[in-house]
Structure 1
């Protein structure tokens, strides 16, 4: 039996703690917008998409279907809109959805500068005001896949996708989440329970990371078949350190992963 849309999502374990929406909007409007704006242009200029902290190339990840030209796609938690820009260059018709007005302002400025046809929508990716079954692809690069409650955004992605549509996203590894303190990079020891705590503070915002078993069950309950899971190591040379994880740590243990699923039921 499948559960589609937010009627089913309201029954999820985080239904009583939706304060994360307001917290994350403030986090991205006030705390992160200035940091990300200078990086946005470089992402928009890229000709080949790359995913996540470790810039996994699309030629390896294959998150985007080959027949995407001429089809409607939605980026959930689009931020500055760079994934939508890549998709537009491939001939797709992207809609970028984000709850941060500041992030979308950067996206609109770059859309005008680069002359790409991208629709941008100020909305919560857990409740998107777009019709059912419209999109061939729902995609998120550390957007809704990290900052939205999976018990809400995954049913919403299923609602938006057409039968046979693809869901593709990058996110934190649950192993990384278990080794991460509130401040500073991941450590070489377990600091949090693996089970029962999928909601994690990040600065003024809230991140979500489900264990693998819970995420697979959630995808299946919403009609998805999991096609691939890529656990991404940091590259061997030239990889930078991030405040939350060092390249050395991520060469030994998975800090991020890429998921592909098809809406089949």
Structure 2
């Protein structure tokens, strides 16, 4: 799962809105996650679990949602997880008899996958690669998934969609979650200050944190809801569901700009369920 949406820059970075192409975005993402993986896993590891498949900060669990299909249908399926982080979702899939491949851009995140997985690591194949250049043959997988991985951080999401389409077999399902596009109109604050519109929903200018030399150290790209649907279709998929998880009563945590206060009023996550014909 991601940095947390549009939020304040790091201690030594300046937050701005400016263009960032695919190469700059990829370079920034790799560097940011390599530097921050330890802190991220320390802060959010308990919520994510070691082998839990959670779609976003609301806590929607794949065990309940079954967006990839019924749990008993996952056995012997080849599954690609994109932006896998420490591969928590892939370990959940492996426990249900699937054959998951956990792909991430960040070497440090995958080191955490090795640390957490221990003796279970052989059940999950780990691959360090860019989502825009998937190192797999055509038709290698039955399913693909991504919980806040890759898609929000790339300048060319259609290329990612086409790559996923390429490596999926006919009838394959692709499910991914991103920050809900409506959130980009609001400050990324969990309290009351995050409930007033502060920017145009239609401003697609990327959010960039940059160093003193103007080099991007973190990039996140905004797409409207319509943009996301068009990206899915342009990638060759059919959109079969769009899930906007409601905030559950049991979840009292704050995560970046996500909180019970905001979650009970506006959606924080959008999950796109797509199929390859």
Q: Which has the higher contact order (CA 8 A, sep 6+)?
A: 2
Unpaired runs of 5+ in structure 2? 1-18, 211-216
Alpha-carbon distance between aligned partners in 2 of 1:124 and 1:254, rounded to the nearest angstrom = 29
**Residues 141 and 169 of structure 1 are in contact (CA less than 8 Å); yes or no, is this contact kept in structure 2?**
yes
* C-alpha displacement of 1:166: 0.4
Task: Give the root-mean-square deviation of aligned CA atoms.
Answer: 2.3
**Partner SS, residue 235 of structure 1:** coil
Q: How far apart are 1:211 and its partner, in Å?
A: 1.2
What are the Cα deviations for residues 172-208 of structure 1, in whole angstroms up to 9, with x where unaligned?
1011122135xx4472222222224163236841123
Tell me which residue corresponds to 2:12: none
Check 1:74–1:234 CA distance in 2 against 1; reply closer, same or farther (3 A cut): same
Matches within 5 A, 1:42-57: 43-46=48-51, 49-57=53-61
* Shift in Å, 1:45: 3.9
Distance across 1 between alignment mates of 2:128 and 2:63: 31
**2:28 aligned with 1:23:** yes
Q: 1:41 to 1:114 in 2, by over 3 A?
A: farther
Higher mean alpha-carbon deviation, 244-253 vs 165-174, is at 244-253
Secondary structure of the structure 2 residue equivalent to 1:137: strand
Distance 2:29 2:121 in 1: 29
2:77 is the counterpart of 1:71: yes
Unaligned runs of 5+ in 1: 1-13
> Could you tell me how far 1:118 is from its partner in structure 2?
0.8
For residue 163 of structure 1, report the CA deviation from its aligned partner: 0.9
**Correspondence list, 1:1-265, <5 A:** 16-37=21-42, 39-40=44-45, 43-46=48-51, 49-66=53-70, 67-114=73-120, 116-149=122-155, 150-181=157-188, 184-185=189-190, 187-197=194-204, 199-201=206-208, 204-264=217-277
Task: Tell me the CA shift for residue 90 of structure 1.
Answer: 1.0
1:225 CA displacement? 1.1
TM-score of the aligned structures, taking structure 1 as reference length: 0.84
Question: How many Å apart are 1:77 and its aligned residue?
Answer: 0.6
Look up the SS of the partner of 1:162 in the other structure.
strand
TM-score, structure 2 normalization: 0.81
Contact kept in structure 2, 1:236 and 1:251, CA below 8 Å:
no
Q: Distance in 2 between matches of 1:237 and 1:116?
A: 34
CA distance in 1 between counterparts of 2:173 and 2:126 reads: 20
**Aligned pairs, number:** 248
Distance 2:65 2:222 in 1: 21
Specify the SS of the correspondent of 1:236: coil
